Structure 1
Amino acid sequence: MKSIAEFRGSNIDIRQWCKTNVEARRMVTARLGRIEDKFFRLIPKALAFKPIDDIKDFVYSYVLDEKEVNIDVLRENVRTYQDMERTLDNVKKRMKKLKKIQELYQRVQERIEKDRMYEYFLKRSELELVEGQLSSLETAKKNEEIRLSQAKAQLEMLQKERSEKQEIATNIRVELRHNQEFVALEEEKKELKRLRDKRQEALNEETELKKSVAQAARDCESLLQTMGAGNTSRYSAAVSTEMSQSANAENETGVDFASCIREYRKKLQTLDGDINVTEIKSLTDDVIHFKQMRYGELQEEQAQLKIRLNQNQTEWEKLSKKINKLKRKKLTYPSGVELLVESVQEEFAGIGREIQPGVLCEMLEIKDEEWRNAVEGYLNTQRFYVLVEPENFDIALGIYDRLRREKKVYGVGLINTKDLEKYDTAPAGTLAEVVTSQNQYARQYSNMLLGKVQMCERYEDLKKYSVSITKGCMRYQNCVASAIKPEVFRVPFIGKNAFTVQLAQAEEEFQKLSETMENQEKKLSDTKEILGLLSTESDVDIKYRLDVIATLRMLNKSIDKCEENIRKLKENSTLIQKQLQLDELEKMLRGLDYTISSDTEKIGGMRARIQDLVARKQTLLEKQITGKSEVTALAADAGERLNSWNREYKEALGVRSIEQFQSEYFYKLPSNKRKYNSERCQIAKDNMINAMVEYKTEHDFGAAASLEGFPEFEAVYERLKNSELLDYEEKVQSAHKAAETEFHEQFLAKLQENMKLAQGEFKELNKALKGIDFSSERYEFQFMPSKKYRNYYEMIMDDFNVTQGESLFSGIFHEAHKDVIEELFEQLSVSGDNSAQALDEFTDYRTYMDYDIKIIHNDGTYSYYSKVCEEKSGGETQTPFYVTVAASFVQLYSNNIGGEAAGLVLFDEAFNNMDDERIGGVLEFLRRLPLQLIIAAPPDKIQYIGPAMDEVMLVMTDQKQSYVEEYHNAV
């Protein structure tokens, strides 16, 4: 035997029949009976035996061919149907939303209509109320006119009586005027009246004087109590400094403020006796002067005290915030440091990078507390430098520069931590040696700063080094020695204990400041009280009212003298009799005058009331005209609804008064019927507008979301309802029908046909296997509905052809297979690679069945190949293989289109590991089939295979050449 290359080399004259594999395949299939290309897939599988592991895959490969079901038209119809259905659903959704808008609009209109009715109720009730008021006014006017007429008659009678009595009194007065004693008496009476009036004025002024004296006395008493003895009182505490200076000035002039106040109080207490007004006025002037001077001094002290208190309040608030931060383990830094740290953190977060800028002092620890003050003092503001990683420095620097341009941050250090590796170790004897850090950059930077500062125990050693420092914070640098201010290192910032120390310091300072502020507030309160005592209002009033005391004394003397003169003049009996008669007449005249005046006033009131009633009536008449006009206009607008409005009005009014009706419907708080209706109207309007806005947003509609824009929404609803809805329903029905027809004819029918043919092939295969024993076993191929797709199988194999005249999507068939149909339609309408793979599975008729081989034993028992394949030996698994492969070739050749096919089957190394009984059974089965067998097998199988074959050829080799010879059985 030669290789293909050797064969071609030794036979160069052989004509090449085919130039391509496709052409060769076509020639071979034509020569073998114009069979399908499946031949080229089956031949290699028959030659290369492979145990059956998955029966379904084996059936797919060897028994059942893939048969295409073209569903392109069906998919298009389904998509069209679903698109139309979605469009119809969208139209229905739009109509539903528009219907809701329409319903809300109707609610709004109903509420508006009800409000118009309430407006009619209001105007009508107001008109009826005005008409009722007009009637009441007319009655009141008539009654008032009757009373006026009666009052006028009564007044005329009184005036006549007065005229008569006045005439008698005049005659007596004329007679008395010719009497000198009477004239003198009259003059004395006039003088007495004048003096008494003047005394009353003086008494009133004396009353005010006594009030001021009482207030001034109380103020003096309080002042003397506050001044007390020594300098321990509130007064001396409040004015100690300023008062001492003023007191020195007073002592120089020989005047003492306390003595002055005591004398003033004493004089005020004896004011009712015989006093020297000039002396008291002088003393009052001194008191006013002293008080004004003290008042100015205390006001200045009060102002200074308020300033100090405000300053302390600001410091108190700062300390309070600082303590709160320290309790949260946060130190308080200069504002620029905190702003830079926050800005860097925010900017980096904005670009998606989470970093935490650090402050140098928080990253350091001091190992030797004795050198803490030296480290804190030397670093000073360098403790607050901000530190970021080297890769973040440039961005942080840009942020710092922006803050500088915005004039927000100055003087804050931003550490560039790049290239600090050389400072990884702290030099011995330097401040860096007592400082450590878990952050390598902070440690390296502190080594750079403090590694040049030599620690000295004695100040005498400072000059030995260029830069040095002692524990007491004496620093030597640039040939200059200087002491660091304690304020620099008093508050520690370095290390984890800095929080604790700062918190203790802050709380102590906070306590002291609180006590100071409490004392200042008390001093401020005392000062305010003393300022009230130093008021000179009462003293000034006393000064200008003191003269009334002398005036009263003089007036009392004059009145006594005048009364004595009148008493002497009245001793004449004739004069007395005439005078008594005149006094009686004058008394009667005064009574008549009072009555006439009162009646005249009453008549004036009556006339005013009548005029008021007339004016009110005129106003009500105007209201009546306006009300009638408004009610008429509302009634005209109501049209046919007026009768129902009037009925409702009468029912609503009932037995209630108009005022009660108006209160309940229009004025009662917090709610009334019209207000309730208005609120419901506004709610409905808001809901309508919200629904309109939602519709506009979802459907890109341009109408205004308002009552005025409703007609456009209504027009769309009517168009959808009367035109587009019907059109789309018709299109959906048409698309539905087309999809149903295609689904029925091109999908279900084809799948059912293919599945029935497949079942027929299995039956034919089982028919050929019937009666053949394979080593005491017989085989029967099983097919059954797929466990996974059983519902689909039942739908496909359902006798749906009987349902002619009925839709697959309604009736019994649809009810039975509704879920399966919907899932299939969903799969048919989906696009994409995954959906294509799923469609291939759903359109393959083989998908809907499961397969197995039933092994029937001689004792009548049976088992299934799928259950025992892993336990069987090689021979037991080969038998189904040969049976199935042979069946596949029979199927292939029976489907030829060129007459009788060759029926050629090739097996290589056939029947390995099979016993003679199984080999015989397989050969008997194969001989029953319309096949030509070419079997290649090892020599030890010749005794089993040879008798069943028409011709046996032996292939031999001597390692150089191969030989083929015919074999004949000698028996």
Structure 2
Amino acid sequence: MINWFYEKKIDINNQSILSSLTTTEYTAVQKANGIDVFLVQIRNVRDDLLATITRLQDDIKKNQSMQVQQQRLIDDCNAKKTTFSEIPDYVALKDEINKEFAKRHISSEAKFACEYVIALKDEGWRDAIESYLGKRRYTILVDPEYHDIADDVLNTSPHRYAHLFNTKLLMKKELAPEEDSVVRYIEVKNSVAKQYFEYQLGRMHAVTKEQVRNFESAISKEGRVSVAMDSYFLQFDRMRFYCLGQETIELNRIHAEKRLQALVSEAETLREQVHEQKQKKEYLETSQGYFGSYNYDACQMYKDILLKCEAASNELEHLKQAQQNNMEYLEMNQLYTKYKGELEANDKERGKVQESQVKMKTQLAVNQEKKEVKTAELEKYNGIMNEYQIQNYDVYKRAIESYNKYVFNDKTGTGGTLKDRDRSERALREVEKNLTSTQSAYNARRNAESWLPTGDDQRFAYGTRKTQIWMDDLQEIKEKLREQTRRYEEIFKNEFVLTVLKSCESAKDDLKLINAELSRLKFKSKYEFEVKYVKDGSDYEKILEYAKYLKEREDLGTASGQMTLSALTTFTDDKGMELEKEIHRIINRIIDSNDKDQIEDYADYRNYMIYEILLTNDVLNKAKLSKQSGFNSGAEVQIPYMLILLSALLMIYNDKLNSTRLVFIDEPFAKMDPSNVKIMLDFMRKQKLQMIFCAPDKTELIGNECDVILPVLRTRSDLMEIGIIEMHEGV
């Protein structure tokens, strides 16, 4: 394992200790601690590999979706179809305008700006021109005299995010394009469209990349642009298809094939990376099985025994020499013969024990297989039980209460599992028969005046007489009741506080896992949860302290109230007695109050801890968010509170075997910038949460990350209209 970590260039904690396990340089405790730290490091590396595998698998899914999209584009091009699937709102609005024209018997037609382009005179400028124009390539153009009609259609259309150009005002402008403007490379067949492209591109000088800096507005073939002295590079890879010129179908096909080939290569690389990471993970998981309990002083003990054996051998030789002429030699020789025989008998017995061990190991393997089968059956019946619980909750609840009483009474009495119904019914009839017989026998021993009727329906009368008889021994009954009450109180006391402590520790473990996930988020600030037990002298603190006291006694194998060695415990016997009295007082107060809300407060483990979220950035280092809220920006407040909400839900959902992991949130990204929105959406997706939220802004950014988009428009205070539902690939 050390060599593996060295090959992967991973620093090893306590490497000097791990390299000296067979020497006496370190104590056994130091060696054991070093091994434990190394095992934790192995698990952390394994967890990092799992996170990497998950991320790579998400990238593969995204890649496959993009491959399908590019293949669909290639198929459209092969079928000689112009691709407008990326702009459904534009297509729908154009169709609505043309329908209105046809309704009014207007022969004019609304078209996209790109449909008027015959060709580009220099293909070298295509990427720069089309990328710069972007959505303006398919802005809808109509004849100037019909613009007002088209504008009225836009005002009432649900597709209000499509672009309609005001050709009425456009044709009134007198334009003078620059002589070296990029518009000279576009050949247009319509005067309105020509005026449109001159308006968009006539002021953009077509120059080299180095000359862009010399103009307020300029563009180069490489995509370097300056718009009103604002310089940047165009992102050619975000352009999904070409649409300027009649030859764009073939260009789109070539572009899509290149993109598809790049995606296939990328997918293969991602799969190889996943395979490599899985091999590393499997190796680490296999290696964890070698970590067990070992005696790290074995080498030193072996050396000590060798020294003792050497000393004993020397002493034996000395005794042999001294006993040659001693009368006791014969007696010792007889003892040697006797012990030698016993040693041989012990060797035979050891052989039998070893043979028995082999059989036991074989039986253990068989039992392990049976355990796996029974575990699968248990999961199956748990599923059936959950369905029955949903369908027949009242019956289920009564059965559970009855069985809990059965277990509490050491599995005696009623409430146990019904193994044979027919046998139980026969037993019931036999019991009824015996009851009648016993009642008759009881009456036979009494005077006729004190006889009672017989039958199952007369049990109350016999019970009443039995109660009268028991009144004669009331003191003994009261003593038994007091003992039983004390026993129930002891059980309640121990189970209550230990359950609270276990829930608190479980919650802290859950938050550690969530902190590990939060540490991977690339926000400008880092967030982590801090949770501490209450230290305010309240009953909650005293209950927690008593729970730790009980757990310590449980670990030492002693009961509360028993004397223990103070050197082995954190709590002294006097402190334990004080805690016993305090918890007794608290429990009696809970019982006497009979307040359901108060009982629920004591049973809620969250009241025993103090929660805080720590903030780390360029200015602050693990500062408490509660102390900083008044000084933070909107995003710095919304991000942590979103993380708090999601983490609280994850602690609930992760504890469930079956969960929809559904979350409803209103405007979760209102105060976040696009980069933070992307990080938050990735976090939600990695946690496998089903998010349903409304977003009045940032719709394009958020919509690209969502599976389903449902546009809604409020037309009146009491009326809302639903637009066209968009469902992305994979839904």
Fold conserved between structures, TM > 0.5: no
Larger relative contact order (C-alpha < 8 A, sep ≥ 6)?
Answer: 1
Q: Normalised by the shorter chain, which TM-score bucket?
A: 0.3 to 0.5
Give the number of the structure whose residues are more often helix, by fraction: 1
TM-score (norm 2): 0.33
TM-score (norm 1): 0.26
